[in-house]
Structure 1
């Protein structure tokens, strides 16, 4: 592991791991995350366009594309729908710009990061409904399914996989593939790594996921395949690219999905990286392992997609998204703000 990676793990173990042993306070976690967030600069030749929900407006008036676009000037030949992590109850597209910017530019893809509704105010299946509506809107606005990839991290990774399953079950055109970083796929928390890696994971104690899951589940079963896609029939899904760290308490949420997907005939590239923390691509551009993970992810995206070289429909859609907003950088706060104190 790089020196940067060791320092980040040291920081997480001292600053964030203890917080996961405390009772869940939704308001406090959201407030602390908002204070810590570090915003990377918008890459040269790209534009950031924000289009968030209007407070107090009906959900129907804001749906389905609430969030942020990072778009290449002149349009890009492929599109990524990104679903951020945050345990389904906090974080936002803003907290995950380091991944969104890094993945979009490397994959030469316009990327939409969805601001899906959060629990507990909006329990399951609100986030899934939002992800499905956003994907269908992207198709309706001219992004071909074969040039589109769904990606996500942690809770967003589980949501991305659940979205694939729901799209397949509904008979929708499926995207070309999916990128899943440390996905949370089992809200029943039955993986052996929950216990085996408790104390080894620099970020989370093992029992925190069982305490957080009810916030999202509400009255739903923890084994509902649309909430916990580990329990879904995975046949017929597009290729998957998955990454997880060897010491993560959520490691088995990745390993078991990879095994079951392969058994169902799905093409799976699954990397288990030694000692790396939960969703380490978020530490780009400061951590070499994060940059390599984004490089590999982009190679996968380019390999599975069919480029839409005209990109004209995408450009016309993006041009209606409203004024852009350049983010400001502060590298000294990167390690603290990129991480979160409760699972993402």
Structure 2
């Protein structure tokens, strides 16, 4: 564990975790604090940021980061779903993941600005993500060139999108990249309790509180809200990363187990003492940079027509 990641954990424990100990979630406060503290990296040289906002019926509502001059035909494309418990954060808050992922993978990324709870509860975010994916196909991007990706709630949303597309008979993307995904809104994982107090970002009790904002009257074990309860057969390769002290660690572990049991290729890495979605801290902590390098390698591999067949791998500790 680098001193930079130790400093990030110290900061989170002092500034973020106390908010998750409160008995109620103040949505407006969470949004205001996140917007105020969001650090946005500059657009990389040779790339351009194209913001698509203000058109209510536009399925691609969010931000494109792409090479200056547009996308190359046939290259990888990432559809990214940001985290934030389904009720806060935005493409802007997650540029510190999206920008370095794009440059490392040499892949344009569309960062989706899906509708947020509690104003727009389940399945609004899912409807937005599936519509965005179908728009990419309509724009002529081949499914085998696309990788779905997301972190935390956005990771759960990316998985749910795959399930909805599969069930509708829509061609699936080449793979799915997940950083600390939130896949169980029923908060039934063992690490909700066993890592409570170890996780520098969240208290275990905060998970069920946030779930209620998104679910409304939807059961917490609905498979398109909580993919840990879904049949994962037929999904494309998955690459999952999570921190060893996260209260949501079991949300990743059980997805990996279920995926392998269903015959889905799945790489699962547990990084020692990393906070929830630590790639957000790129470029400041070395572990974030290394995680993004590994994520970019996955994007390039699964979208390559020459990729070798990869066996389902056991959990690895990083």
TM superposition score normalised by structure 1:
0.86
Work out the CA distance in 2 between the residues paired with 1:158 and 1:53. Answer: 26
Aligned partner of 1:207 among 192, 199, 205:
205
* Count of aligned residue pairs for this structure pair: 301
Please report the RMSD computed on the Cα atoms of aligned residues, expressed in angstroms. Answer: 0.9
Work out the CA distance in 2 between the residues paired with 1:62 and 1:94. Answer: 21
Work out the CA distance in 1 between the residues paired with 2:283 and 2:50. Answer: 21
Partner of 1:105: 103
**Highest RCO, 1 vs 2 (Cα 8 Å, sep ≥ 6):** 1
| Superposition deviation, residue 16 in structure 1 | 1.0
Gaps (5+ residues) in structure 1?
55-60, 308-344
Work out the CA distance in 1 between the residues paired with 2:290 and 2:67. Answer: 22
Partner of 2:310: none
| Superposition deviation, residue 62 in structure 1 | 3.2
SS in 2 for 1:224: coil
SS in 1 for 2:172: coil
SS in 2 for 1:85: coil
Work out the CA distance in 1 between the residues paired with 2:90 and 2:113. Answer: 6
SS in 1 for 2:234: coil
Partner of 2:59: 64
Gaps (5+ residues) in structure 2?
306-318
| Superposition deviation, residue 91 in structure 1 | 0.3
Partner of 2:37: 36
| Superposition deviation, residue 227 in structure 1 | 0.4
SS in 2 for 1:298: helix
| Superposition deviation, residue 32 in structure 1 | 1.2
SS in 2 for 1:109: coil
Partner of 2:47: 46
SS in 2 for 1:28: helix
Is 1:268 the counterpart of 2:266 in the alignment?
A: yes
SS in 1 for 2:63: strand
Partner of 2:68: 73
8 Å CA contact 1:53, 1:62 repeated in 2:
no
Work out the CA distance in 2 between the residues paired with 1:94 and 1:53. Answer: 16
Partner of 2:137: 139
Post-superposition CA distance 1:136-155 (Å, at most 9, x none): 00010011100100000000
Post-superposition CA distance 1:169-202 (Å, at most 9, x none): 1000000000000000000000000000000001
Work out the CA distance in 1 between the residues paired with 2:144 and 2:16. Answer: 40
Post-superposition CA distance 1:297-322 (Å, at most 9, x none): 00001000037xxxxxxxxxxxxxxx
Partner of 1:340: none
| Superposition deviation, residue 67 in structure 1 | 0.2
Is 1:26 the counterpart of 2:27 in the alignment?
A: yes
Is 1:82 the counterpart of 2:77 in the alignment?
A: no
Partner of 1:334: none
Work out the CA distance in 1 between the residues paired with 2:240 and 2:53. Answer: 29
Partner of 1:337: none
Please identify runs of 4+ aligned residues in structure 1 that moved more than 3 A. Answer: none
Work out the CA distance in 2 between the residues paired with 1:53 and 1:260. Answer: 40
TM superposition score normalised by structure 2:
0.93
Aligned partner of 2:256 among 255, 258, 279:
258
Partner of 1:17: 17
Instruction: Describe how 1:1-344 pairs up with structure 2 within 5 A.
Output: 1-22=1-22, 23-53=24-54, 61-74=56-69, 75-76=71-72, 77-306=75-304
